[in-house]
């Protein structure tokens, strides 16, 4: 029994060594290049996404990494549309190929991904996660844009006439719930009578389904739609209803429909992680705070042709309070539900 | 309770049901045609993806909408032909070949999309099909339910009649049903079993692809990875529910559409009391229940899943 176990371990170990050998050669070659010119010192970054790079959340990470590559800070490669069941394999492949920083999302494999990271102490991992950092090399981030979400909520609360706001979400996981609650808090702060309809489609990427949910809410009287998913704003356009954007700015795609959007900027997070890897002091930290407005990780865009100037002014004042640290937006990760 | 009544009294509920049912109508007709000829086509889910991608892609490249529909049908036919060659001419397992076609077809679609569009910030959009007769949508009930639908929904309804007419009223239909029931008898009549089966599988696969095309050219205006989201598989269950009859296929698809439209509305109303996942499951559970009830009396095409070679019994 024990012998068999040993053999298995050995054979795995051998495999690693062989690949490790190739990586070592590559590393030596890179070291040589580094001696010749210090400016060529780039961090090798690989990203693993479970959805295509067009998906809102992922597009923000992809954008920040592309920007870092354009500046010459990193050498960037990625795999998209990787199934959760296949995710560990891709993590291992990138780690064994000698990538120094691996960025991705582990919402569907929190525990397994942390185990993989333990096997590659030389590699730094920066993963979107609902939980905290772990081990010596597993840092986490997320789109903590609850602050701009609160501000967009204020705009929605002011704009609604039926006092009914519809919200269509993907999955009811903490990062989605948190932004929804912040948005709802913002709306209630300016309009105590406002009520919400909440629905989850249990898919990240089924626009026709999201659209049907949105239609159902507008049938029920919602006159502002919180567009957490692709498809919601499309339904709003068809009915001439206004919508609030999330994560990306889609106002160009839906003219005179998007009142305001809470935007996520991944650059502060990525740039800090890359610098840490470069400096050799990458810590298993929670990078979540770098998505806060104070670090430039979150912002709000308002379509001032659709929102009254008085409301814009009020929102700007609130934004300043957040930036000055005078106002803190509540964090609530519970699943939001419709008002009865 | 009053809420439930309100839902059933609102015309938007029926409009949504028909909208959700449309891709399923295409898909279930396609699966029905294949199975009536004796070939199970589990390539359906992948063929949906191919149809969704190629129809949208053609329009995005500058073709008009109907050319896009044609492109989707042709792409579906190509993958249908692949399944037909593997199962009819080579006599391979229809289950394995079908699943292989699904994996291959969806990967090929994603690959083509990404090769054509390596760097896009958000999926490019096309101008999709619009309501057939917005002017008539003022007519009570029928207006919103029928005339606010797009041309593809009408095409789906027309195809139900066409498939019924071909199967039940033409010699070709008799021959197609016969190759699925008793290929030896068809052979004795001097007809080619393989050609009939090949034709049925290719035509059926084109119909499946139209179901996918509806998603990107009518229900939405862009192509997304994974947006087919199991709709193809539902059609496989619906065929049995429909006892391989076009009229019942339409009924089954619309019933499923109604369950789904109801689910969305109930989840919003009662999400606070009952976990939302229950509602998301409901259409599938109800189709399983319906299947159990109906399938007991179902008469499978007798030669379904059985490859046929000349001279072999």
Q: pLDDT digits over A28-51, tens only?
A: 444 444 444 444 479 999 999 998
Which pLDDT belongs to residue B121? 74
Taking the Cβ of residue B52 and every Cβ of chain A, the question of whether any pair is shorter than 8 Å is answered with no
Whether B50 has a pLDDT exceeding 90, the answer reads yes
Contacts of residue A338 in chain B, CB cutoff 8 Å? 268-272
Query: With pLDDT > 70 as the criterion, what percentage of chain B qualifies?
Result: 97
Of A59, A202, A220, the CB nearest to B280: A202
Beta-carbon separation of B220 and A208 below 8 A: yes
Q: Contact at 8 Å (CB) between A245 and A99?
A: no
Which pLDDT belongs to residue B123? 83
Whether B51 has a pLDDT exceeding 80, the answer reads yes
Beta-carbon separation of B225 and A203 below 8 A: no
Nearest CA in chain B to A165: B268
The number of beta carbons lying within 10 Å of the beta carbon of residue B32 is 26
Nearest CA in chain A to B273: A337
Q: Contact at 8 Å (CB) between A76 and A66?
A: yes
Who has greater pLDDT, A222 or A24?
A222
Instruction: Please compute the mean of the pLDDT values over residues B8-37 and round it to a whole number.
Output: 95
Nearest CA in chain B to A167: B268
Whether B302 has a pLDDT exceeding 50, the answer reads yes
Beta-carbon separation of A212 and B260 below 8 A: yes
How distant is the Cα of A292 from the closest Cα of chain B, in angstroms?
23
Closest among A215, A218, A224 to A244, alpha carbons compared: A224
ipTM above threshold 0.85: yes
Beta-carbon separation of B19 and A202 below 8 A: no
Beta-carbon separation of B220 and A59 below 8 A: no
The residues pairing with A128 across neighbouring beta strands, listed in sequence order, are: A105, A141
Taking the C-alpha atoms of residue B33 and residue B197, their distance in angstroms, rounded to an integer, is: 10
Question: Could you give the strand order of the β-sheet that contains A74-79, starting from the edge strand earlier in sequence?
Answer: A74-79, A43-48, A101-105, A124-128, A138-141
Contacts of residue B13 in chain A, CB cutoff 8 Å? 219
How distant is the Cα of B125 from the closest Cα of chain A, in angstroms?
9
Instruction: Please compute the mean of the pLDDT values over residues A305-312 and round it to a whole number.
Output: 95
Using one digit for the tens of pLDDT, what is the confidence trace for A262-300? 999 999 999 999 999 999 999 999 999 999 999 999 999
Whether A70 has a pLDDT exceeding 50, the answer reads yes
Beta-carbon separation of B265 and A52 below 8 A: no
Asked whether the CA dihedral B26, B28, B32, B34 is positive or negative, the reply is: positive
Nearest CA in chain B to A212: B16
A12-to-A18, A26, A90, A111, B215 alpha-carbon distances in Å: 10, 21, 16, 21, 45
Between A142-146, A308-312, B76-80, B260-264, the lowest mean confidence (pLDDT) is in: B260-264
| pLDDT tier, B1 (very low <50, low <70, confident <90, very high otherwise) | low
Q: Contact at 8 Å (CB) between B125 and A253?
A: yes
Q: Which residues contact A234 (CB under 8 A, 6 or more apart)?
A: A207, A211, A214, A254, B220, B221
List B residues 172-191 in contact with A (Cβ-Cβ < 8 A).
none
**Domains with residue ranges and CATH for chain B:** 2-117+138-295 (1.10.3470)
Taking the C-alpha atoms of residue A143 and residue A266, their distance in angstroms, rounded to an integer, is: 8
Instruction: Please compute the mean of the pLDDT values over residues A308-323 and round it to a whole number.
Output: 96
Q: DSSP readout, A18-71?
A: HHHHHHHHHHHHHHHHHHH-GGG--EEEEEE-SS-TTSHHHHHHHHHHHHHHHT
Q: Which residues contact B85 (CB under 8 A, 6 or more apart)?
A: none
Whether A10 has a pLDDT exceeding 50, the answer reads no
Query: With pLDDT > 70 as the criterion, what percentage of chain A qualifies?
Result: 88
Element of type H or E holding A225:
strand A224-227
Local structure of B302: helix, strand or coil: coil
Beta-carbon separation of B224 and A198 below 8 A: no
Closest among B232, B281, B230 to B259, alpha carbons compared: B281
| Backbone φ, ψ for residue A94 (5° rounding) | -65, -40
Which pLDDT belongs to residue B264? 85
Long-range contacts of B85-89 (CB under 8 A, 24+ apart): B87/B39, B87/B201, B87/B307, B88/B39, B88/B194, B88/B197, B88/B198, B88/B201, B88/B307, B88/B308, B89/B194, B89/B198
Taking the Cβ of residue B12 and every Cβ of chain A, the question of whether any pair is shorter than 8 Å is answered with yes
Taking the C-alpha atoms of residue B185 and residue B262, their distance in angstroms, rounded to an integer, is: 46
Most trustworthy range by pLDDT among A27-41, A215-229, B132-146, B284-298: A215-229
Which pLDDT belongs to residue A84? 94
| pLDDT tier, B280 (very low <50, low <70, confident <90, very high otherwise) | confident
Which pLDDT belongs to residue A33? 44
How distant is the Cα of A207 from the closest Cα of chain B, in angstroms?
7
Beta-carbon separation of A253 and B122 below 8 A: yes
Q: Provide the number of CB pairs (under 8 Å) joining chain A to chain B.
A: 99
Beta-carbon separation of A212 and B20 below 8 A: yes
Which pLDDT belongs to residue B272? 59
Whether A240 has a pLDDT exceeding 90, the answer reads yes
| pLDDT tier, B313 (very low <50, low <70, confident <90, very high otherwise) | low
Beta strands A101-105 and A43-48, pairing class: parallel
Whether B288 has a pLDDT exceeding 90, the answer reads no
Taking the Cβ of residue B222 and every Cβ of chain A, the question of whether any pair is shorter than 8 Å is answered with yes
Contacts of residue B271 in chain A, CB cutoff 8 Å? 198-200, 337-338
Whether A195 has a pLDDT exceeding 80, the answer reads yes
Name the token pair of B313.
């019994």
Instruction: Please compute the mean of the pLDDT values over residues B75-95 and round it to a whole number.
Output: 97
CA B174 vs. chain centroid, Å, equals: 23
Taking the C-alpha atoms of residue B208 and residue B206, their distance in angstroms, rounded to an integer, is: 5
Q: Contact at 8 Å (CB) between A172 and A141?
A: no
Contacts of residue B277 in chain A, CB cutoff 8 Å? 202
Taking the C-alpha atoms of residue A164 and residue A155, their distance in angstroms, rounded to an integer, is: 13
Taking the C-alpha atoms of residue A115 and residue A109, their distance in angstroms, rounded to an integer, is: 10
Taking the Cβ of residue B272 and every Cβ of chain A, the question of whether any pair is shorter than 8 Å is answered with yes
Nearest CA in chain A to B117: A54
- Average pLDDT over all residues of chain A: 88
Who has greater pLDDT, B114 or B139?
B114
Between A70-79, A317-326, B288-297, the lowest mean confidence (pLDDT) is in: B288-297
Which pLDDT belongs to residue B149? 92
Whether A247 has a pLDDT exceeding 70, the answer reads yes
Contacts of residue A231 in chain B, CB cutoff 8 Å? 220
Which pLDDT belongs to residue B87? 97
Q: B159-176 burial, b for 16+ CB within 10 Å, e for fewer?
A: bbeebbebbeeeeebebb
Local structure of A74: helix, strand or coil: strand
Predicted model pTM: 0.88
The A-side interface with B (CB below 8 A) comprises: 51-52, 54, 59, 63, 80-81, 166, 172, 197-203, 205-209, 211-213, 215-217, 219-220, 230-231, 234, 248, 250, 253, 337-338, 340
Closest among B259, B198, B271 to B234, alpha carbons compared: B259
Name the token pair of A63.
């954008």
Which pLDDT belongs to residue B244? 93
Using one digit for the tens of pLDDT, what is the confidence trace for B193-237? 999 999 999 999 999 999 999 999 999 999 988 889 889 999 998
How distant is the Cα of B270 from the closest Cα of chain A, in angstroms?
8
Using one digit for the tens of pLDDT, what is the confidence trace for B152-178? 999 999 999 999 999 999 999 999 999
| pLDDT tier, B271 (very low <50, low <70, confident <90, very high otherwise) | low
Closest among B223, B116, B215, B124 to A252, alpha carbons compared: B124
Query: With pLDDT > 90 as the criterion, what percentage of chain B qualifies?
Result: 66
Using one digit for the tens of pLDDT, what is the confidence trace for A100-127? 999 999 999 999 999 999 999 999 999 9
Beta-carbon separation of B268 and A197 below 8 A: yes
Of B19, B123, B264, the CB nearest to A199: B264
Contacts of residue B265 in chain A, CB cutoff 8 Å? 216, 219-220
């Amino acid at each position: 029994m024990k012998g068999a176990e040993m053999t298995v371990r050995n054979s795995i170990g051998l495999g690693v060594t062989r690949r490790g050998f190739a990586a070592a050669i590559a590393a030596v070659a890179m070291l040589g290049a580094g001696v010749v010119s210090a400016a060529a010192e780039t961090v090798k970054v690989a990203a693993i996404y479970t959805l295509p790079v067009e998906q809102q959340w992922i597009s923000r990470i992809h954008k920040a990494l592309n920007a870092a590559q354009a500046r010459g800070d990193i050498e960037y490669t990625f795999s998209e549309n990787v199934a959760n069941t296949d995710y560990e394999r891709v993590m291992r492949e990138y780690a064994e190929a000698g990538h120094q920083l691996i960025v991705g999302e582990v919402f569907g494999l929190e525990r397994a991904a942390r185990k993989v990271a333990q096997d590659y102490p030389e590699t730094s991992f920066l993963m979107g996660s609902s939980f905290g950092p772990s081990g010596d090399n597993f840092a986490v981030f997320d789109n903590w844009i609850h602050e701009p979400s609160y501000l967009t909520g204020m705009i929605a609360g002011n704009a609604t006439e039926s006092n009914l706001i519809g919200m269509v979400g993907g999955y009811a996981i903490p990062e989605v719930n948190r932004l929804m609650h912040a948005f709802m808090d913002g709306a209630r702060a300016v309009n105590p009578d406002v009520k919400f309809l909440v629905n989850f489609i249990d898919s990240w990427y089924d626009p026709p389904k999201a659209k049907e949910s949105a239609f159902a809410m507008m049938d029920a009287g919602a006159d502002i739609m919180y567009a957490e998913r692709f498809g919601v704003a499309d339904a709003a356009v068809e009915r001439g209803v206004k919508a609030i954007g999330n994560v990306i700015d889609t106002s160009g795609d839906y003219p005179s429909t998007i009142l305001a959007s809470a935007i996520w900027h991944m650059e502060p997070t990525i740039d800090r992680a890359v610098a840490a890897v470069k400096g050799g002091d990458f810590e298993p930290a929670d990078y979540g705070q770098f998505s806060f407005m104070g670090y430039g990780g979150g912002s709000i865009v308002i379509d001032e042709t659709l929102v009254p100037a008085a409301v814009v002014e009020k929102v700007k004042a609130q934004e300043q309070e957040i930036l000055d640290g005078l106002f803190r937006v509540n964090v609530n990760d519970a699943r939001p539900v419709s008002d009865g | 309770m009053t809420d439930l009544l309100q839902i059933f009294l609102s015309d938007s509920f029926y409009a949504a049901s028909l909208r959700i049912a449309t891709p399923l109508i295409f898909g279930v007709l396609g699966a029905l045609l294949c199975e009536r000829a004796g070939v199970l086509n589990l390539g359906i889910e992948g063929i949906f993806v191919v149809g969704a991608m190629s129809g949208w892609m053609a329009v995005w490249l500058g073709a008009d909408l109907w050319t896009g529909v044609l492109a989707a049908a042709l792409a579906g036919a190509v993958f249908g032909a692949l399944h037909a060659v593997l199962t009819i001419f080579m006599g391979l397992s229809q289950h394995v070949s079908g699943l292989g076609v699904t994996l291959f077809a969806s990967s090929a679609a994603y690959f083509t999309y990404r090769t054509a569009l390596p760097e896009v910030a958000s999926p490019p959009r096309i101008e999709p099909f619009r309501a057939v007769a917005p002017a008539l949508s003022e007519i009570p009930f029928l207006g919103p339910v029928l005339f606010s639908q797009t041309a593809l929904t009408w095409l789906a309804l027309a195809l139900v009649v066409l498939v019924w007419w071909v199967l039940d009223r033409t010699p070709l239909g008799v021959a197609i049903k016969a190759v699925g029931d008793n290929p030896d008898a068809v052979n004795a009549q001097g007809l080619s079993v393989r050609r009939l089966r090949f034709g049925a599988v290719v035509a059926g696969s084109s119909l499946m692809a139209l179901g996918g095309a509806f998603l990107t050219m009518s229900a939405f205006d862009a192509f997304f990875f994974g947006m087919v989201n199991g709709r193809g598989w539902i059609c496989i269950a619906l065929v049995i529910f429909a006892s391989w009859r076009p009229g019942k296929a339409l009924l089954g698809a619309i019933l499923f559409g109604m369950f789904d439209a109801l689910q969305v509305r109930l989840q919003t109303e009662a999400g606070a009391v009952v976990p939302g996942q229950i509602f998301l499951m409901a259409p599938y559970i109800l189709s399983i229940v319906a299947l159990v009830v109906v399938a007991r009396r179902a008469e499978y095409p007798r030669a379904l899943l059985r490859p046929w070679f000349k001279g072999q019994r």
